[in-house]
Amino acid sequence: MIRFLLKGILRDKSRSLFPILTVVAGVMLTVFGYCWVIGAGDNMTESSAKFSSGHVRVMSRAYAEEADQIPNDLAYIGVESLIQELRSDFPEFIWTPRIRYGGLLDIPDAQGETRSQGPVFGMAVDLLSSEAKEPEILNIQNALVRGHIPEEPGEILLSDDFAVSLGVKPGETATLISSTMYGSMAVTNFTVAGTIRFGVAAMDRRAMIADFGDIQAALDMQDATGEILGFFKTFIYRDKIAAPTASRFNELYKNETDEFSPVMDTLYSQPSIADYLGMIGLFSKAMIFIFVGAMSLVLWNAGLMGSLRRYGEIGVRLAMGETKTHLYRSMITESMFIGLIGSVIGTALGLAISYYFQEVGLDYGSIMDNTTIMFSNVMRAKVTGFSHIIGFIPGLGATFLGAAISGLGIYRRQTSQLIKELEA
């Protein structure tokens, strides 16, 4: 029977070509859409982890409540001892302190007068210590456009677009005007070592990268930090490890009476990330549901048309003694072969397109100019193990539903009318 059905599919192109093409198109779009959505999720989590929150993040309780406002006046004091404890108790992470800050960057002329200035978003990271991991985490070497990575205290990096707008070049002086941890004005001169472009609009607009020790001194934050970030050594986020780690840390350091006691949160526990990933999950399910529904309608219609064309064949098979149930099952089996063939071809095409966009990506930086979300300007698809099988869900499901619905007409076929139909 299986050989008979396969021969019918392969030899009668009018019976199988249109359904197969329909399945191929739907499966290809499903596979590529899924890979694209997964790539978008990874884009956001990777960028947010590197430039904002790490895989886990330690702050004071007071700082955590207003973390979006970067309240350095609520920073955690005692960072050196806490980092040593974290490295001892949680060695599966790379621990590094960071200070986020804002201010005004002033570029003086030869006479020391203001030549240009603009608001700046700053990030202090460990650049100069012997065990610094930040250059690798931020991939600064590849992001460098002009100049060099800071090698001495007092050197900074500016986003290239910001440096161009200010008219400042590597080797020139820039003055940061900000506020200290205690609310007083802070004015500090730095030397621009180089310019960078991360490919993340939120960072490339007005970013300043300085050494952690320099900003501690500039903002009067001795032995203090806004945040301590933890990264998995593989740089791949694993919530099944991160969430229990955060729970264990918070239980260990729990002190409800001290608003400056440390707390830890995870990348996925942040509202913006959690909401976005939840939206991606719903979108993936909706995409499969839509394609199954749309393809089922198309294949149902194709099945009805095929049943009309094969009306005589169905009647003859019933007249020869084949039961309606057996005929119904054989048509469903035939449709499943069609779905399998279409799913294999569609999955192969969808994966080929996804692999291309995984390597090349699509640059949409022009529409991200004003965003504050940590998104890479180059969106890439991501091929996962599930990408190889997700297309079979709509491919087989839709063909089954289409054939099952259209095939119900078999039970309304009356063999008593067969002789009159053949005479006609």
What average pLDDT does the segment 155-182 reach? 94
Residue 360 scores a pLDDT above 80: yes
SS3 state of residue 122 = strand
Tokens describing residue 275:
């909401």
97 strand-pairing partners: 228
* Of 275, 214, 200, 221, residue with least CA distance to 74: 221
Nearest Cα to Cα of residue 399 among 9, 22, 105: 22
- For residue range 46-97, list pLDDT tens digits in order: 888 888 889 999 999 999 988 888 899 999 999 999 999 999 999 999 999 9
Name the range with the highest mean pLDDT among 23-32, 41-50, 155-164, 309-318.
Answer: 155-164
Q: Which backbone phi and psi does 184 adopt, to 5 degrees?
A: -85, 165
CA distances (Å), 388 to each of 19, 31, 151, 380, in order?
21, 8, 47, 17
As a whole number of angstroms, the distance between CA 383 and CA 32 comes to: 9
In what helix (H) or strand (E) does residue 264 lie, and over which residues does it extend? strand 262-266
pLDDT score at 79: 92
Q: Which residue type sits at 355?
A: Y
pLDDT at 299: 65
d(CA 349, CA 357): 13
DSSP H or E stretch at residue 168: none
Position 220 scores a pLDDT of: 93
Rounded CA separation 297/254 (Å) = 57
SS3 content of the chain, % helix, strand, coil (to 5): 55, 20, 25
- Label residue 329 left, alpha or beta by phi (over 0 means left) and psi (-120 to 50 means alpha): alpha
Cα 13 to Cα 7, 166, 309, distances in angstroms: 11, 67, 13
Q: What confidence category does residue 170 fall into, taking pLDDT thresholds of 50, 70 and 90?
A: very high
Can you spell out the DSSP letters for 43-108? HHHHHHIIIII-SEEEEEHHHHHTGGG--GGG-EE-HHHHHHHHHHH-TTEEEEEEEEEEEEEEEE
Q: Which one is predicted more confidently, 237 or 415?
A: 237
Q: Give the pLDDT confidence score for residue 412 in this predicted structure.
A: 67
For 283-302, how does the pLDDT look when each residue is reduced to its tens digit (9 = 90+)?
Answer: 767 777 777 777 777 766 66
User: What is the rounded CA–CA span in Å between residue 122 and residue 176?
Assistant: 10
Between 270 and 182, the higher pLDDT residue: 182
The per-residue b/e assignment along 107-123, b for 16 or more CB within 10 angstroms, e otherwise, is bbeeeeeeeeeeebbbb
- The strand pair at 378-379 and 362-363 is best described as antiparallel
**Average pLDDT of the chain to the nearest whole number:** 83
Return the DSSP state at 226.
S
Looking at residue 129, what is its pLDDT?
86
Residue 112: predicted pLDDT: 83
- pLDDT, tens digit, 9 for 90 and up, residues 88-136: 999 999 999 999 999 999 999 888 888 999 999 999 999 998 888 899 9
CA gap 193, 152 in Å, rounded: 9
- Give yes or no for residue 256 having a pLDDT over 70: yes
**Per-residue exposure over 245-280, b if at least 16 CB sit within 10 Å of its own CB, e if not:** bbeebbeebeeeeeeeebbbbbbbbbeebeebbeeb
Eight-state DSSP code of residue 376: B
